[in-house]
Amino acid sequence: DTAVSQTPKYLVTQMGNDKSIKCEQNLGHDTMYWYKQDSKKFLKIMFSYNNKELIINETVPNRFSPKSPDKAHLNLHINSLELGDSAVYFCASSQDGSSGANVLTFGAGSRLTVL
Amino acid sequence: GQNIDQPTEMTATEGAIVQINCTYQTSGFNGLFWYQQHAGEAPTFLSYNVLDGLEEKGRFSSFLSRSKGYSYLLLKELQMKDSASYLCAVMDSNYQLIWGAGTKLIIKP
């Protein structure tokens, strides 16, 4: 069983389109995350969310919005896609986002290419 | 600002030992993590250090010195499958993870 699954794995789309990436975790974790990994391999946190609060990285454009229908799901919706949005997007989860030994389990990644 | 530094790339020989260094400057400290990321795959957890000293886990060991803002990951008896990027990450006082850019480790026969 896949612990953190995200779909689609690959997404190619045109500038200006709206797209979503779905993420589900079956680990019973309380906190979920979205990360962006660009061509230089930096992992940048976009959002973290548990059933109490949503923490947004202030550098993330408001074209990006997380949607969480329940504790096991955190989807990423992107409006008006731009060329610079091309990257690999990783979903992750952890038991507790507010403790030190906060080990993240990552999904396999979704490679987004904007043409 | 907060900063994590690690070498961009390292090369080592199969069967040898390699040490990957990580230095950090963060707002507070709640632990340091090492993750392994094979090309085209997700990062996977390797180790966690919150107290000074060496943590050993099989062929991999991780060391932390909080006073020096320094950690290293030691890989022994290198195997070809160890070719990957190794990411250092520090949890700051707000429990936010600050990531380094990763060290690409190339293993040669």
Q: What share of chain A is helix, strand, coil (3-state, %, to 5)?
A: 5, 50, 45
Write out pLDDT tens, residues A18-64: 999 999 999 999 999 999 998 877 899 999 998 778 887 878 999 99
How do residues B57-98 score in pLDDT, each as one tens digit?
A: 999 999 999 999 999 999 999 999 999 999 999 999 988 899
Q: Which amino acid is at A40?
A: K
Cβ neighbours of residue A100 closer than 8 Å, sequence gap 6 or more: B30, B31, B50, B91, B95
Report pLDDT for A57: 81
Put simply, the answer to whether B50 touches A101 (Cβ < 8 Å) is: yes
For tokens 């200006």, name the residue: A16
Average pLDDT over residues A5-25: 97
Name which of B42, B45, B89 is nearest A109 (Cβ-Cβ): B42
What average pLDDT does this structure show over B16-39? 96
Which residues 6+ apart lie within 8 Å of B80 measured at CB? B14, B107, B109
Distance (Å, rounded) from C-alpha A84 to C-alpha A60?
12
**Min distance B102 CA to chain A CA atoms (Å):** 7
Enter the tokens of residue B95. 């429990």
The tokens for B25 are 């400057």
Question: Residue A114 to residues A8, A85, A87: CA-CA distances in angstroms?
Answer: 14, 7, 9
| Angle at the Cα of A59 from the Cα atoms of B96 and A72, rounded to 5 degrees | 55
Nearest chain B alpha carbon to A103: B45
Query: Are the beta carbons of B1 and B96 closer than 8 angstroms?
Result: no
User: B87: which chain A residues are within 8 Å (Cβ-Cβ)?
Assistant: 43
What's the whole-number average pLDDT of chain A? 91
Q: What is the Cα gyration radius of chain A?
A: 13
Average pLDDT over every residue of A74-84: 96
pLDDT of B2 higher than 90? no
In which residue are the tokens 């062929």 written? B59
B87 with A104: Cβ contact below 8 A:
no
Mutate: best of B26, B94, B95, partner A, most A CBs <10 A:
B95
State chain B's mean pLDDT as an integer: 95
